[in-house]
Amino acid sequence: EAGVAQSPRYKIIEKRQSVAFWCNPISGHATLYWYQQILGQGPKLLIQFQNNGVVDDSQLPKDRFSAERLKGVDSTLKIQPAKLEDSAVYLCASSTSPRGAQETQYFGPGTRLLVL
Amino acid sequence: AQSVAQPEDQVNVAEGNPLTVKCTYSVSGNPYLFWYVQYPNRGLQFLLKYITGDNLVKGSYGFEAEFNKSQTSFHLKKPSALVSDSALYFCAVRDGDSSYKLIFGSGTRLLVRP
């Protein structure tokens, strides 16, 4: 079974530029998550999708971050404009359902973003 | 609100010795607890989880964890450490009664010496 795919793996941009990350979840997983992992910290949930609908985006900085999952499969996370403090690893995860007791989230390799 | 604490930034152990990585949690409902491992430049890999039932949970790569409700702990253990176990370990909790959010601890770096 193929895992969660993410691209690019690394990205370096200057502040105020825009950047986009792509994620393809495990086949058949209805729920997709985007996390931000700042160096030295645990991952923090940015947004959660159930199919193509947003379940939770309470911690997404909506003035600069946006995400979509138009066809309920792959997803794109965008930052525009980027700030220095956005430097982090952006992790995508997927699971079969958001509320099942057996839910396990499976993570992709992440995209490491450096904002100069 | 739910939270997770990993009190040790780093754990050092000699190869072949037992290892323990500590985790304590706080939730208002029933806790669902998870351990993940992260190798350099890799995403998080699932190790094991506790949902209900036996307090001792066995997972991947010989790891196990013990759920202790009275101490609100879920410590990760392995009887004999390998150098290849050196990595960053994250504990996470979800409040099974009221929330679907997975909250992560800050991580513990495990260093196994040859």
pLDDT in tens, B80-101: 999 999 999 999 998 776 667 8
Cβ-Cβ contacts under 8 Å for A53 (sequence gap 6 or more): none
Report residue A75's pLDDT band, with 50, 70 and 90 as the boundaries: very high
Please state the rounded mean pLDDT for residues B110-114: 96
The tens digit of pLDDT for each residue in B27-47 reads 888 889 999 999 987 889 999
Q: B26 and B72 in contact (C-beta within 8 Å)?
A: yes
CB within 8 Å: B104 and A91? no
Please state the rounded mean pLDDT for residues B41-61: 91
Q: Which of residues A101 and B41 earns the better pLDDT score? A: B41
The tens digit of pLDDT for each residue in A8-59 reads 999 999 999 999 999 999 998 989 999 999 998 999 999 999 888 898 899 9
Q: B8 and B88 in contact (C-beta within 8 Å)?
A: no
Q: Is A30 on the interface with B (CB under 8 A)?
A: no
**Alpha carbon A112 to chain centroid, angstroms:** 12
What is the model's pLDDT at position A112?
95
The yes-or-no verdict on residue A84 having pLDDT over 90 is: yes
Rg (CA), chain A: 13
Q: B25 and B33 in contact (C-beta within 8 Å)?
A: yes
Q: Smallest Cα–Cα separation from B111: which of B34, B10, B25, B42?
A: B10
Q: What percent of chain B is modeled with pLDDT above 70?
A: 97
Option in B44, B100, B106 nearest A107 (CB): B44
- Residues A65-100: b if buried by 16+ CB within 10 A, e if exposed: bbbebeeebebebebeebeeebbbbbbbbbbeebee
What is the model's pLDDT at position B83?
96
What is the model's pLDDT at position B98?
66
Q: Smallest Cα–Cα separation from B93: which of B2, B6, B20, B1?
A: B2
Question: What is the DSSP annotation of A46-77?
Answer: EEEEETTEEEE-TTS-TTTEEEE-TTSS-EEE
What is the model's pLDDT at position A24?
96
Residues 36-95 of A with CB under 8 A from B: 40-45, 48, 55-56, 91, 93
